[in-house]
Structure 1
Amino acid sequence: MNRSGHPAFHAAEAFLQAPRLAQALSTVSIAVSILATPIHKVIGWPGLIAIISGLVVLAVASLVARREELEWQALLPISLTLFLGWAATTVFWSQYQWATVGGLAYLAAYTAVGLYIALMRDTIQIVRAFGDVLRFVLVASLALEIFSGLLVDAPIPFLGIQGNLAEGGPIQGLLGTRNQLGIIAMLAAVTFGTELRTKSIQPPVAIASLALAGITMFFSRSPLIGGVIVILGAAIIALYLIRRISPARRTVAQITLLAIAAIGALVTWGFRARIVTMTNAGGELDFRLALWRQILDLVSLNSLEGWGWLGYWRAEISPFQAFTAIERVPYSGLNAYLDVWFQAGLVGLAIFIVLVGLAFVRSWLLAGQKRSIVYAWPALVLLVLLTSGLFESSLLVEYGWLTFVVCCVKAAHELSWRRAFASTALSDPRAA
């Protein structure tokens, strides 16, 4: 009997094609990417890998079942494909090849589920999925901090919660560190604000969610996200003004905005010493500067090709053993761009800068051109990820990478030069 005519086959196909599966799979994938740290701490790496592997299998099966709905042309942005390809190439000269294979598989898994979310869900559906997950994460984080810091007055070591709420923070929540919690709270604020403006949830719920994100940011006491908040606020104001300028004058406005941003970057660089002094709470920047100096010393040994892709650092592997002698053992370069240079070399860094630059420019142009405010969400989310990438490497793994892939693929599909070229060729009678 032909398997395609078997009732079980039809039932499986209907299950994999169901919109409810896409909704559930997207929400669970986002939740796992954000909560990867506590999941790993509770059930270990084997459990986390089993979960993400199951999600990948379901995502691939669902994509195959819905293959006729997909536009296969320009499925993946060329810049993203090039970066993944170069990262994979580093396995050939990596001094820790099996670890590189594992790191590449972990990167590929989050790329796959991020691609699935971008292809199967509309932008507003993606915003809602992120909103639901982020609300849960922030509520659970504050609940655990209240339990630890106020009710029992004791830390929760296996989750990284120090129980400092009674002293006004810093709190770590389910994210393990105050900086990661602060970044998640900023992403949540952008998401909740988008939900409020698009009226996709009840206004009281959206306003309460925004208050929740603000409270979390305040108690995280992260000394490193203040600048990101300022940049995000300036971007929101700029985007608000650009969306109200007539299309004929929008190009001039964008060029002016670019010039202002460049001047602002130069001024910031000129006052960098004073900024470092003002934001160096608890010696946090001193630790990062020492780490970055050590990374640059090692980068010079393999500056062009890098040491080999890894993702999360492993302290037992050379050359990462060299960092165990500093104040605390780092599990990343605490700078996404320096981390890419270290692991993938100058070639990888150049591809990565092109990748993130194209993704942000496309998202920003869409946010300024499209009528719906939902198109501002990818641009603002990318801004948070890219600026926080200056002091954290979360952009390269788990929730940071998944979110980046979602925004990158969505923007590339809306402004794809390959699709535009194909449409022009089809409409041109001389192409026949």
Structure 2
Amino acid sequence: MAESRTRLAVSAWATIVFALVLGADEVRAILPPPLFVSLAVVVVAASVLVFVRVRPDRFRWYRLPSPLYWFLAWSALSLLWSATLLPSLIGLVTVLATTAVAVALSYVLTWHELLRTLAAALRILIGLRLAFELWSALFAGGAAADPGDPAPSGFLALLALIVWGIQLRAGLVRPFTGWFWVCVSVVAIVLAGTPMVWAGLVAVLAGLGFAMWGRRIPQHRRVPLYATAAVLFAAVSVVAIVARDALSAMLNGAGRLAGPAEAWDGVWGLVLERPAVGWGWVGAWPEQVAPFDRLQAASGPAVASAHDAWLDVWLQTGLVGLLLFAPLVVLTLFRVWFRAVDPPRRGPGPALPYATSALWPWLAMVALMVQSVADSSILVDGGWLLLVTLAVKTRFDFALPAQGTEPRMLPWRRVPIPRG
């Protein structure tokens, strides 16, 4: 009974953490800065306490992904030449704190607990967002609604569709509940209405198709699959480069960005001034501080990031930082892919039936990758939390779930407690 209460408390902690960090923009807009900082300190302290009390014996610091160490170390070193020392220090503390929370989540929670608590947090965020939109439309004439940048809301809606869809297909929730929340996520995607969320949805469906293809063929016969994926990726990249101006106009016309092409040009100009080491890590841009104020003057006051995570990393940490960041993302992408398509085994016998729940990390990473092309949110708050959680979890937890090992549909208090 004591262990059951412990896992229930851990699940509640994880749900709160996911909700607060993934919804950091909304929380930051509602709370005054001192209260927001105090809440962040409480979340980090609680995460460290949970990690110390509940962490598994198998935890070893050296089992964390090496690129994560190197990228964080280089970001810290960039304080020595940062053009914005105080914002850089704040940005470094923020990314280190978020990393610590992600490490706690990945080691304390099982894969199923990650899925379940993430789903619960997304229900809170998406449900509150839609309730606010409905209240605004019915009682405030829409005047109270502040659309702001719809990209984060669109990404959360897409992530919710992935997570809730997996739960429904795996039988982890009741059919009515599952279909209800899947429909809610579709409504949220339509309301966000950004081109990038539609592009992300297409990419996720393509990723799902490739994963199902990979599951149907032996490992030694996947060359055609990888060749097809490479050709498709190259074709999409070429189209994106050739149609850069048209895509920029489409994004700007949809209200997603203010002059993205001009913003990219301005950022590229700053990159060329310090191509090797960058201007110093800051995370979220301090818009009125040099050199970022130069981009505001050139592109308008709405420029709050490079609108491309890879370009943003190059701007802040230089080519060296980009070469350290890329392996973190690519290796995580490879690990979640093989987790999705490799057949689960228990000993030398035949492979077991695939588990539906093994797909969600792969699909979530695909959504993150698409988001990173036109948004820098993967570098801060919920984007960084999700990336690091998946990077760390796939680095040490190699057990592949099988269909028969997925948890039964039980109330929270009766969910079997994993041991070992």
The CA deviation string for residues 323-356 of structure 1, in whole angstroms up to 9 with x for no partner, is 3323333222221111111111111011111111
Amino acid at match of 1:186: L
Residue 314 (structure 2) aligns with: 341
Secondary structure at the residue paired with 2:375?
coil
**Does 1:362 pair with 2:335?**
yes
Which region of structure 1 is more displaced relative to structure 2, 139-148 or 59-68?
A: 59-68
Unaligned runs of 5+ in 1: 1-13, 163-171, 417-432
Secondary structure at the residue paired with 1:185?
helix
**Separation in 2, partners of 1:93, 1:378:** 37
TM-score, structure 1 as length reference: 0.83
**Separation in 1, partners of 2:24, 2:61:** 32
2:366 corresponds, among 369, 383, 388, to: 383
CA distance 1:292–1:301, change in 2 (3 Å): same
**Separation in 1, partners of 2:260, 2:335:** 31
**Separation in 2, partners of 1:125, 1:374:** 11
Secondary structure at the residue paired with 1:69?
coil
**Separation in 2, partners of 1:32, 1:405:** 16
Once the two structures are superposed, the pairs formed by residues 24-173 of structure 1 within 5 Å of their partners are 24-66=12-54, 69-72=57-60, 74-156=62-144, 161-162=145-146, 172=147
How many residues of Structure 1 are paired with residues of Structure 2 in the alignment? 386
CA distance 1:361–1:298, change in 2 (3 Å): same
Q: Cα offset for 1:252?
A: 4.8
Verify the 8 A CA contact 1:223 1:280 in the aligned structure 2. Answer: no
The CA deviation string for residues 156-188 of structure 1, in whole angstroms up to 9 with x for no partner, is 3xxxx34xxxxxxxxx3xxx4212111110011
Secondary structure at the residue paired with 2:31?
helix
Once the two structures are superposed, the pairs formed by residues 295-314 of structure 1 within 5 Å of their partners are 295-314=267-286
CA distance 1:334–1:263, change in 2 (3 Å): closer
CA distance 1:333–1:275, change in 2 (3 Å): closer
CA distance 1:346–1:110, change in 2 (3 Å): same
Verify the 8 A CA contact 1:306 1:346 in the aligned structure 2. Answer: yes
**Separation in 2, partners of 1:211, 1:373:** 20
Q: Cα offset for 1:79?
A: 1.0
The CA deviation string for residues 241-299 of structure 1, in whole angstroms up to 9 with x for no partner, is 21121334235533443344334433444454555555552575661111111111111
Residue 199 (structure 2) aligns with: 227
TM-score, structure 2 as length reference: 0.86
**Separation in 2, partners of 1:408, 1:20:** 25
Computed over aligned residues only, the root mean square deviation of the Cα atoms, in angstroms, reads 2.3
**Separation in 2, partners of 1:68, 1:26:** 16
Q: Cα offset for 1:220?
A: 1.4
**Does 1:213 pair with 2:201?**
no
CA distance 1:331–1:382, change in 2 (3 Å): same
Verify the 8 A CA contact 2:248 2:261 in the aligned structure 1. Answer: no
**Separation in 2, partners of 1:280, 1:68:** 48
Amino acid at match of 1:339: D
CA distance 1:154–1:189, change in 2 (3 Å): closer
Verify the 8 A CA contact 1:74 1:413 in the aligned structure 2. Answer: no
**Does 1:403 pair with 2:376?**
no
Amino acid at match of 1:309: W
Verify the 8 A CA contact 1:186 1:213 in the aligned structure 2. Answer: yes
Residue 331 (structure 1) aligns with: 304
Secondary structure at the residue paired with 1:210?
helix
Q: Cα offset for 1:415?
A: 5.6
**Separation in 1, partners of 2:188, 2:53:** 41
* Larger RCO (CA under 8 A, 6+ residues apart): 2
Verify the 8 A CA contact 1:362 1:415 in the aligned structure 2. Answer: no
**Separation in 2, partners of 1:359, 1:120:** 19
CA distance 1:94–1:275, change in 2 (3 Å): closer
Secondary structure at the residue paired with 2:83?
coil
CA distance 1:251–1:413, change in 2 (3 Å): farther
Secondary structure at the residue paired with 1:390?
helix
Verify the 8 A CA contact 1:192 1:210 in the aligned structure 2. Answer: yes
Name the % identity. Answer: 27
**Separation in 2, partners of 1:392, 1:104:** 20
**Separation in 1, partners of 2:355, 2:133:** 37
2:167 corresponds, among 192, 195, 214, to: 195
**Separation in 1, partners of 2:194, 2:56:** 47
Amino acid at match of 1:193: G
Which region of structure 1 is more displaced relative to structure 2, 273-282 or 398-407?
A: 273-282
Amino acid at match of 1:77: P
